[in-house]
Amino acid sequence: MAQGGSIVPFAGWRRTRLLGESPLRQALRSVGDRVVRLAEDVVGQDLDARIAGIKTHLNEVGHDPFGFDPETSRYALAMAALLHRRYFRTQVFGINRVPQGRVLIVANHSGQLPLDAVMIGSAMMLDADPPRFPRSMVETWTAELPFISTLYPRLGQVVGSPENARRLLQQEESLIVFPEGARGISKTFDQRYQLTDFGLGFVRLAIETGTPIVPVAVIGGEEQYPSIADFKPLARLLNMPAFPVMPQLFFGMIAPLPTKYRLYFGEPFRFSGDPDDDDSAIEEKVWLVKSTIQSMVNRGLRERKGVFI
């Protein structure tokens, strides 16, 4: 008698095979494990211990309510560690200035792909002691993209909305915020390292929740994907915030250029006042943060000897 009471031989075969882990998944897992081991050799740190060291607020069924999944994040951290240490050879300055507890990390945005967020995140995970797990606020439209919308929450990324930010800060988590948003990341090469307008929301949020703001200057992001123009009609057609024209893609170079990243963490700002104050009053505080980041960027640019060294 065949399995499951069926008289057809091997009728249950497909089912038993599928109930276990699929071969594709097994292959992916073994590749992932190899990457993690490689990254651990390169970094010289136990990545699993780093992941285990972070504190999130699990719900009653043992899941992070925002969808963070340590299993997936382990591979992502390994990739980020390789990028951080080997590909971009990131130098981190002043990471000790990040206070414990809730914190908003505000940085300049650049480089067409949000690798600057990856670098800040991996710096917090690998260079801070104890490791800090920063969440970053991502664009809403990423939630509409298949696969990305699954991957981002698993890595702890959260759709950018004031409610989410407030909730996370009240849970004493750290958030990476790019107040320039899409305007900043899709800058063309001639506007590199010139900060565009900052939104006001992050300062209101910081005042409301009593959160310190740590300004961060990211150097090296602007040169990874130099863009000569923004092709707006196509961006509108594809429903994207911008469509950068990147010459390196014409030469078949899909990977970013291996620039050297430098991250400068500044002294935290602590603002007080009324979160619902007039825009003019909030703008002063935003201007203070923005000008601090701009001057940190300028100093960083003066100090560096070259884009790739």
Q: Which of residues 14-53 bind other proteins (CB under 8 A)?
A: 18-19
Q: Is 159 one of the binding residues for other proteins (CB under 8 A)?
A: yes
Strand partners, 264: 93, 217
Listed in order, strand segments (DSSP E) in 178-235 are 213-219, 229-230
Q: Report the Cα 202 to chain-centroid distance in Å.
A: 17
Q: Rounded to the nearest whole angstrom, what is the least distance from the CB of residue 25 to other proteins in the complex? A: 12
Among 43, 92, 158, 297, binds other proteins (CB under 8 A): 158
Q: Is 251 one of the binding residues for other proteins (CB under 8 A)?
A: no
Q: Six-digit token pair at 130?
A: 């104890």
Measure the CA–CA gap between 24 and 44, rounded to whole angstroms. Answer: 30
Measuring CA to CA, which residue among 117, 145, 232, 254 is closest to residue 186? 232
Q: Six-digit token pair at 17?
A: 């095979």
Q: Is 164 one of the binding residues for other proteins (CB under 8 A)?
A: yes
Per-residue mark of binding to other proteins, 66-105 (x: CB under 8 A): xx-x------------------------------------
Q: Is 146 one of the binding residues for other proteins (CB under 8 A)?
A: yes
Task: Report the SS3 class of residue 174.
Answer: strand
Kindly report the backbone phi and psi dihedral angles of residue 99, in degrees, each rounded to the nearest multiple of 5, phi listed first.
-75, 160
Q: Rounded to the nearest whole angstrom, what is the least distance from the CB of residue 190 to other proteins in the complex? A: 33
Among 57, 85, 89, 167, binds other proteins (CB under 8 A): 167
* Residues within the interface to other proteins (CB under 8 A): 18-19, 59-63, 65-67, 69, 140-141, 143-150, 153, 158-159, 161, 163-164, 167
